Structure 1
Amino acid sequence: MLRKRSILSLLMALVAIVLVSCGGGNENTAPPTYSSEQVEQIQQALPPVKQARQRLTQLEPLLQKEKWSDAYSLLHGPLGGLRREMSYVTRNLLPTDQEKAREYAKALFEDIEKIDAAVEAEVASRALQSYDRALNDFDQYLSLIPEPKPEENS
């Protein structure tokens, strides 16, 4: 009888071990997604960022025509609050998107600083190169922003 209990206990332990090891975690969980409220909040904070992107395109002709004073005014005026606006939008993104957004934003502001330095030095070629990189970084940042889902009519 004692031998049967030992074998039964050993068998139960093996079954438990197999069940625990095969059970594992739920690896098929869906990646986190944005709720409609999150998307709405991001979309409400986005207009100043999109306006800044549009304003940035106004910089290219100023750099090409070497209108340094106007370029300086644009960089320090309408684009002056961009860092704050982008920071607010970034905080509302999913954690995985936040990391990428911070990288793109950091690169964008480094490019803007290089544009500013080139404007102060009045070197159009350097300013235009940094401008192209800034537009690319800005577009990469904006590609991370979730679009609102079209509402279904029931």
Structure 2
Amino acid sequence: MSHFLKGFFAGLFSLLLSFGVWAGCWSQPVFAASAQSTQLIEQNQSNESLQAGTPSSYSSAQLKNLKKSADAVNALRNRLESFQPAIEKRNWAEVHTGVAGLLPDLRQKMTSVTDQLALQDRLLARAIATEVFIHLERIDEADEVYDYQAAETNYLQAVQDFDAFLGLIPTS
């Protein structure tokens, strides 16, 4: 019977390997989204000077709702800042707990803000939000293997992308 199981698992492993599952294909879409997001961010930066003079297309009620949602996202941005001391101290349990607690709230709040943005800003906001999520997931992966450098790098990139996201939210 053990010979049968050994053959079964060997066959299953080769099947998974042939589909790329074991080789890490699950991370492929992350890298694709990351490259696409980076391209959108760069395009937006080159177009910022053109958009600076355009009048607001938001009503006062929409701006009020956006401000309320942005305040909630900004509060989560402040929670993100608490990760840096934990990363510096290499307190991986605290880092993991922080990411696990922040990520669900952050996904919901950033999606809510993104859905309220004008159509021309929505795609970029989604791309930047995706970048923030990717960096947080990579921080969590880094804490599992005690990789200080990866955790610190992704923390800094998450903060930078978070600020870019907040910069898309109109104030007037």
Q: TM-score, normalised by structure 2?
A: 0.66
Structure 1 residue aligned with 2:100: 76
How far does residue 31 in structure 1 lie from its aligned partner after superposition? 6.4
Q: Which amino acid aligns with 1:67?
A: N
Task: Give the percent of matched residue pairs that are identical in Structure 1 and Structure 2.
Answer: 34
**Hey, what's the Cα distance between the residues in 1 that align with 2:130 and 2:72?**
18
Long gaps (5+) in structure 1? 1-29, 150-154
**Hey, what's the Cα distance between the residues in 2 that align with 1:37 and 1:108?**
28
How far does residue 85 in structure 1 lie from its aligned partner after superposition? 0.7
Equivalent in 75, 87, 96 of residue 120 of structure 2: 96
How far does residue 134 in structure 1 lie from its aligned partner after superposition? 0.4
Residue pairs, 1:1-40, within 5 angstroms = 33-40=57-64
The answer to whether the aligner puts 1:127 opposite 2:151 as a matched pair is: yes
**Hey, what's the Cα distance between the residues in 1 that align with 2:98 and 2:82?**
8
Long gaps (5+) in structure 2? 1-53
Report the structure number with the largest CA radius of gyration. Answer: 1
Structure 2 residue aligned with 1:56: 80
Q: Would you identify which runs of 4 or more consecutive aligned residues in structure 1 move more than 2 Å?
A: none
- State the superposition RMSD in angstroms: 1.4
CA contact (8 A) 1:32 1:94 kept: no
Query: Number of residues paired by the alignment?
Result: 119
Point out the structure with the larger helix share: 2
